[in-house]
Structure 1
Amino acid sequence: MIVALIVICEVGFWVLLAAGLATRYLLKKPRAGAALLLAEPLLEVLLLVVTAIDLKNGAEPSAKHGIAALYIGYTVGHGHTTVKWLDGHAAHRLGGGPPPVVRPKYGMPRARHEGKIWLGTLVAAAVATGLLLLAILYVGDSGDTSSLKEWMAISWRAAGIHGVIALTYLLWPKKDPAGKDSAGEAGGVAAPGHHAEKATAWTLEKTERSAVPARDPQDVPDGLVRRPGQDEQQV
């Protein structure tokens, strides 16, 4: 039952997400769409309640309870990021909003990006561990909780592996093959104000060039200067 409910919660997550975004941008009902998106955590609450009831009814702690805890932890740690990412794309494609921010690919911006994702994994492991500890305390000495402890170790092992992978982007940052500045246009994302500063500099340069003939006529090309005729020279 727990495994089936996990599958139902996963399917329900994507169904509510799609329905919320469609209602928000296609039907032009932002409040109703937001309500559907905010209903997604109720799926995790339902899974948590059913898992607790299953243990209360005397079910032996097993892998299904550990998977349920990890699923809830993952949703807490990464669910918001997933919803935000998809909402940005839906706003651009369906609502006429600005293009979503492109994930950095190179240099320190990519390292910071991977670090933020890893923090979500840490949150997921912490939430899963907290739920598993509560389950162990709830069962007490009346049941075998070794399976729950194993899933606690699995959650932190996964967080550790993810942390090592994220660290490689910091120790060995990936270089842009185009040779662009990693702090500026790495990964196709320009630094804040980069295009504005470039446009301003170009405008100032054009203005200065156009102002030179007015101040210094001798700098104007010969083709643009009217030479006095012979009659005018005699006068």
Structure 2
Amino acid sequence: MIVALVVICEIGFWVLLAAGLAVRYLLKMPRTGAALLLCEPLLEVVLLVATAIDLKNGADPSWKHGLAAVYIGYTVGHGHRTIKWLDGHAAHRFGGAPPPHKPPRHGMARAGHEARIWLGTLVAAGVATALLQIAIWYVGDAGQTESLRSWMYAAWRTAGIHGLIALSYAIWPKKAAAKEPESEPVRAER
């Protein structure tokens, strides 16, 4: 049930996002579209409540509950950025707004961009860890909660790997390609 609910929440995320952007820009109803976009966090609340109820009803903690916690953490850490990015593209494509800014491609500006994305991963790992720890305390039996602990380690391993990748942009910044000097037009001699 929990895995199906995670899948439903993911599908619901994209359906609500598409509906919110369509209402906002195609139907020219920005407030209604914004209201639909603000319903996105309700999906995570539904998943959180369903997971808690499942554990309360005596389900053994398993990888499914860990997956739900990591999904909620990811949505908290990266959901806003994803929505903002897609909103910028929809505003440009359908609302006449200027094109959204592209992330920097070179140097320390790119390293800063990657670091900000990594902070979202840290938030995701922190939220997932908090939810998993609460579930572990709730269940109380250390023997039954090993799968939840393994999800904690996985979340922090992922954050560590992502951090190393982000750090690599600062240590070895990509250099902009050297622009070729513009040649002057050749003049015909008379």
The answer, yes or no, to whether TM exceeds 0.5 is yes
Gaps of 5+ in 1: 181-235
Q: Aligned residue for 2:80?
A: 80
Q: Aligned residue for 2:41?
A: 41
Return the alpha-carbon distance in structure 2 between the equivalents of residues 143 and 165 of structure 1: 35
Q: Aligned residue for 1:158?
A: 158
Once the two structures are aligned, what percentage of the paired residues are identical?
A: 74
C-alpha displacement at 1:53, in angstroms?
A: 0.4
Return the alpha-carbon distance in structure 1 between the equivalents of residues 15 and 178 of structure 2: 41
Return the alpha-carbon distance in structure 2 between the equivalents of residues 57 and 20 of structure 1: 35
Q: Spell out, residue by residue over 1:97-154, the C-alpha distance to the aligned partner (whole angstroms, 9 max, x if none).
A: 1110011111111100000000000000000000000000110128610111111010
Amino acid at match of 2:91: A
Q: TM-score, normalised by structure 1?
A: 0.75
Aligned residue pairs: how many? Answer: 180
Return the alpha-carbon distance in structure 2 between the equivalents of residues 178 and 111 of structure 1: 20
* Conserved 8 A contact 1:17-1:37: yes
Larger radius of gyration: 1
Return the alpha-carbon distance in structure 1 between the equivalents of residues 161 and 106 of structure 2: 21
C-alpha displacement at 1:79, in angstroms?
A: 0.1
* Conserved 8 A contact 1:61-1:143: no
Matched, 1:56 2:56: yes
C-alpha displacement at 1:178, in angstroms?
A: 3.2
Q: Aligned residue for 1:4?
A: 4
Q: Aligned residue for 2:20?
A: 20
Amino acid at match of 1:56: K
CA RMSD between the two structures: 1.2
Q: TM-score, normalised by structure 2?
A: 0.93
Following TM superposition, where does structure 1 have runs of at least 4 consecutive aligned residues deviating by more than 6 angstroms? Answer: none
* Conserved 8 A contact 1:69-1:128: yes
Asked which structure has the greater RCO (Cα within 8 Å, sep 6+), the reply is 2
Q: Secondary structure of 2:147's partner?
A: helix
Amino acid at match of 2:165: I
Amino acid at match of 1:36: L
Return the alpha-carbon distance in structure 2 between the equivalents of residues 146 and 26 of structure 1: 48
